[in-house]
Structure 1
Amino acid sequence: MLDALLIKLNYREVLSGEREFDLGTAYLAGALRQAGFQVEIIDASLEELTKEMLLERIISSPARLIGLSVWLHRLVGEAEQLVRELRLRGIKAHITMGSHSPTFLYRELLENNPGLDSVVCGEGEPTIVELLTALAAEREWRNIPGVASYDADRIIYKPRAACCALDELAPPALDYAPLVKERGQFMSLLTSRGCYGRCTFCSTSPFYRLGGGKAWRAHSPERVLAEFVLLHREYGFTHFGVRDDNFVGPGAQGRERAQAIAEGILREGLAISFKIACRVNDIDRDLFASLKQAGLARVFLGVESGSQRRLDGFKKGVTIKQNTEAMLLLTELGLPYTVGYIMFAPDTSWAEFRESSAFLKHALGSVEGITEAVHDMFNPVEVLPGTVIAEELSQKGLLLGDYRGFRYRFQDWRVRVFYQGLVGIRRLMAFIIKVRGVNTGGD
């Protein structure tokens, strides 16, 4: 019997080519194996497993602990269904969940799912090792810091103090690296965790600040370079997705680390390409010229809005001028970029909508490459557990739906009418495309 079976759930709407190596379960498996446990990973997303296929795999791999990585909020309901189905099929293992949404929803999950034994809150490496150690020794586990559980009609949860320096963590397990290489996809790599921003719509900063933790902390340049070298020279990867929420990090310290990584790649002579995500105020000409020389191929920028009032409402801590300058600088350097843009929030006014639309109209005519960079300019903000927006809406009685999927109404009636019309047009277009596909046999 396995000590642990770690599972990344499948989200069916992700395109096959965009399914990537999962670092969450990989780091947990690395920590557990370093502690001497026998662990297997099932990446249902990468393997594109149906629900029944996943159930069969779990049942055929008996384990003391089953850990579910609920990596998207919209997967919470599916995770609950999986727990119920596993119990119905006689699975007796300790079942736990983890990742951002379960961390902030541990009370709701435990109260509504009697088959769920625990929730691992926050960064899971030290917590899951302690939990499995206690289970293996048949010792009491409910008071382990970072573990939330339900016992005798009450929630038991003691927050864990902030996790260790990243270089102290075991390297991620590379079980699925051969499959990723076989498919010719980019390889995921993590150089930092968290983000120093405090955007009201994002759960990253609250997640990593749990237990007094730092909002952003990083692997050393030496550790990052060692992983690049290993994955390139021993596994043959040349294209990488750096999955950091914010690659550069705060201030001079963050820029110096990023510069050291670029210099290390060049010094080692690694013929690689990689993509990163950062804030617009991280864009620096000299730094990004060095990163491009080292192989930087694409940048994700969280621009979010062209209305200063909306940027301030999101607590982005940047200006429209900084947004524009960042895009122009990347264009000058010849670096492709993708823009994150949120047109609609619950309290978006008609004036803000017009400002943001005017910004895009101007940018489309003056900033080269932005047409390809903005994949969807009419995105509504997604309300996630643990965010400032979720808390504010809840306090005002404006948070609709339930913990499995929050909803809201736009407070400005003009914005509400426009968005409803936009949704209607998109549904009509999707229906027309579907009908045409059926009539032409999909050709």
Structure 2
Amino acid sequence: MHRVSFRWNPKNRYSIAALRAVLDFGLVRQPVDGIMLYSFASPQARQVYAEVDAANTDTIFIAGGPHPSGCPEEALEHFDYVVVGEGEETLPELVAAISEGRDVSSVKGIAFKERGKVVFTGRRDEADLDRYPPFKPPLYGPIEITRGCPWGCAYCQTPGLFGRHMRHRSVEAICKYDKYYEDKRFVSPNAFAYGSNGITPNYEAVEKLLRSLSGNVYFGTFPSEVRPEFVTARMLELVNAYCANKELHLGGQSGSDRMLRAIHRGHSAADIVIAVERARDAGLTPVVDFIFGLPGEREEDQRLTLELISSIVKEGGKVRAHRFMPLPGTELANARPEPLSPEVDKLLGKLALEKKLTGSWSGRQ
């Protein structure tokens, strides 16, 4: 049997906690002999590749996570196998096949090289969240309540990783992990879409979940967020009735309707304004994400976004602004970021110095 180890990195601790529930492995901070597992996103890729290439060990390297799933051909220049998409079923099967010396080609959801050519064994069916714990003590993470997203935003890896069909962990399954936390936090592409198709809110499902939980419930805050059009009076009533959070994290992305259409967001700039006003009126501080440098973005689009940001912070809201990064497996994977206009760059810097804005907004970062 091969020794199985996972490369520890605090940035992927949620994935490690979830996979520890389906596979036994040790945690290490450098490559060791045996089977080495890595899960990483695009900002980590270069460092991970360098580490694997420099390893002087007798090791079989397996990669998974957002970046390898989006570009398995690239990852296979450094790794022996790539788990494409969800790993709860695929990874234990692959590790068992390797350890037992069996043919890995029967394992669905992996990519590998055979005689110099990349082989993909086909996509595995979507995982039933109720079958797999969100974590296994002593490793903990937020409770993942939903996977998948129907919107297909051009910059986002979620539909490629998890599909466009929303799947939800049942209230009963979620409550099994209620006891581990006094403060409850959740992972979801849109927390307010719990129990729904991702297009229309399901208030009954959200209320059933919230009223079933004990302790301090934080819903619609990091590490999750919500879509603007889901911020309705009824949803905010539920948050105020059952939750402890005083902030609400929104995905806005742009103040330009032209850009929102271009990236397939499915909402308008006016929807962002309305959501911010509703959150504020309900006593919640809106925290809104924006992306600068989207492909095709013009100076006018940047000004519109900056005007919306200024109005949000003027009224007491908070903003997280990010520089566009092309991610593999997305529609914009091969696109280049547009430069920030000097005026926008200067004003964003001023807001950051005033601590009214956070995030990786600067083109120099």
TM-score, reference length from structure 2: 0.85
- State the shift of 1:2 in Å: 6.5
Tell whether the 8 Å contact from 1:120 to 1:148 is kept in structure 2 after alignment: yes
Q: How many residues align?
A: 346
| AA in 2 matched with 1:270 | G
User: Who is 1:5 aligned against?
Assistant: 5
Question: 1 CA distance for matches of 2:120 and 2:66?
Answer: 16
Write the deviation string for residues 74-119 of structure 1: whole angstroms up to 9, x where unpaired. Answer: 1111111221232x2xx22321010111011110121x32xx2111
2:154 equivalent to 1:154: no
User: Who is 1:330 aligned against?
Assistant: 279
User: Who is 2:210 aligned against?
Assistant: 262
2:25 equivalent to 1:39: yes
Question: 2 CA distance for matches of 1:140 and 1:146?
Answer: 14
Structure 1 unmatched runs, 5+:
12-20, 33-37, 43-53, 178-186, 233-237, 394-398, 400-407, 429-443
Q: Secondary structure of 1:278's partner?
A: coil
Distance 1:103-1:409 versus aligned 2 partners, 3 A rule: same
- State the shift of 1:40 in Å: 2.5
* Coordinate RMSD, CA, aligned: 2.9
Write the deviation string for residues 288-320 of structure 1: whole angstroms up to 9, x where unpaired. Answer: 322233224132100111111111112111112
2:166 equivalent to 1:216: yes
2:80 equivalent to 1:137: no
User: Who is 1:282 aligned against?
Assistant: 230
- State the shift of 1:169 in Å: 1.8
Write the deviation string for residues 129-182 of structure 1: whole angstroms up to 9, x where unpaired. Answer: 1101212221111442211111211111122232222112245222234xxxxx
Q: Secondary structure of 1:348's partner?
A: coil
Question: 2 CA distance for matches of 1:194 and 1:140?
Answer: 31
Tell whether the 8 Å contact from 1:73 to 1:384 is kept in structure 2 after alignment: yes
User: Who is 2:362 aligned against?
Assistant: none
2:185 to 241, 247, 257: 241
Question: 1 CA distance for matches of 2:289 and 2:349?
Answer: 23
Question: 2 CA distance for matches of 1:155 and 1:416?
Answer: 42
Write the deviation string for residues 308-361 of structure 1: whole angstroms up to 9, x where unpaired. Answer: 111111211111221111111111111233210123323111222222223333
| AA in 2 matched with 1:279 | R
2:324 equivalent to 1:381: yes
Q: Secondary structure of 1:125's partner?
A: coil
Q: Secondary structure of 2:154's partner?
A: coil
Tell whether the 8 Å contact from 1:199 to 1:314 is kept in structure 2 after alignment: yes
User: Who is 2:19 aligned against?
Assistant: 28
Superposition map of 1:37-186 within 5 A: 38-42=24-28, 54-55=29-30, 58-59=31-32, 64-70=34-40, 72-86=41-55, 88=56, 91-110=57-76, 112-113=77-78, 116-177=79-140
Single out whichever of 159-168 and 307-316 deviates more from structure 2.
Answer: 159-168
Distance 1:136-1:288 versus aligned 2 partners, 3 A rule: same
| AA in 1 matched with 2:99 | A
Question: 1 CA distance for matches of 2:254 and 2:171?
Answer: 33
Question: 2 CA distance for matches of 1:281 and 1:272?
Answer: 22
- State the shift of 1:241 in Å: 3.1
1:343 to 288, 292, 295: 292
Distance 1:143-1:82 versus aligned 2 partners, 3 A rule: farther
Tell whether the 8 Å contact from 2:5 to 2:37 is kept in structure 1 after alignment: yes
Q: Secondary structure of 2:104's partner?
A: coil
Question: 1 CA distance for matches of 2:313 and 2:225?
Answer: 22
Write the deviation string for residues 185-204 of structure 1: whole angstroms up to 9, x where unpaired. Answer: xx522111132322111111
- State the shift of 1:264 in Å: 0.9
Q: Secondary structure of 1:374's partner?
A: strand
Tell whether the 8 Å contact from 1:240 to 1:273 is kept in structure 2 after alignment: yes
Question: 2 CA distance for matches of 1:40 and 1:293?
Answer: 42
Q: Secondary structure of 1:24's partner?
A: helix
Question: 1 CA distance for matches of 2:17 and 2:241?
Answer: 30
User: Who is 1:200 aligned against?
Assistant: 154
| AA in 2 matched with 1:24 | S
Tell whether the 8 Å contact from 1:103 to 1:121 is kept in structure 2 after alignment: yes
Q: Secondary structure of 1:172's partner?
A: coil
Q: Secondary structure of 2:137's partner?
A: coil
Question: 1 CA distance for matches of 2:16 and 2:228?
Answer: 30
Question: 2 CA distance for matches of 1:358 and 1:421?
Answer: 14
TM-score, reference length from structure 1: 0.71
2:168 equivalent to 1:225: no
Q: Secondary structure of 1:386's partner?
A: coil
Structure 2 unmatched runs, 5+:
354-365
| AA in 2 matched with 1:374 | V
Tell whether the 8 Å contact from 1:143 to 1:157 is kept in structure 2 after alignment: no
Superposition map of 1:265-414 within 5 A: 265=213, 269-273=214-218, 275=221, 276-297=224-245, 298-365=247-314, 368-370=315-317, 373-376=318-321, 379-391=322-334, 393=335, 399=336, 408-410=337-339
Question: 2 CA distance for matches of 1:361 and 1:420?
Answer: 14
Distance 1:244-1:296 versus aligned 2 partners, 3 A rule: farther
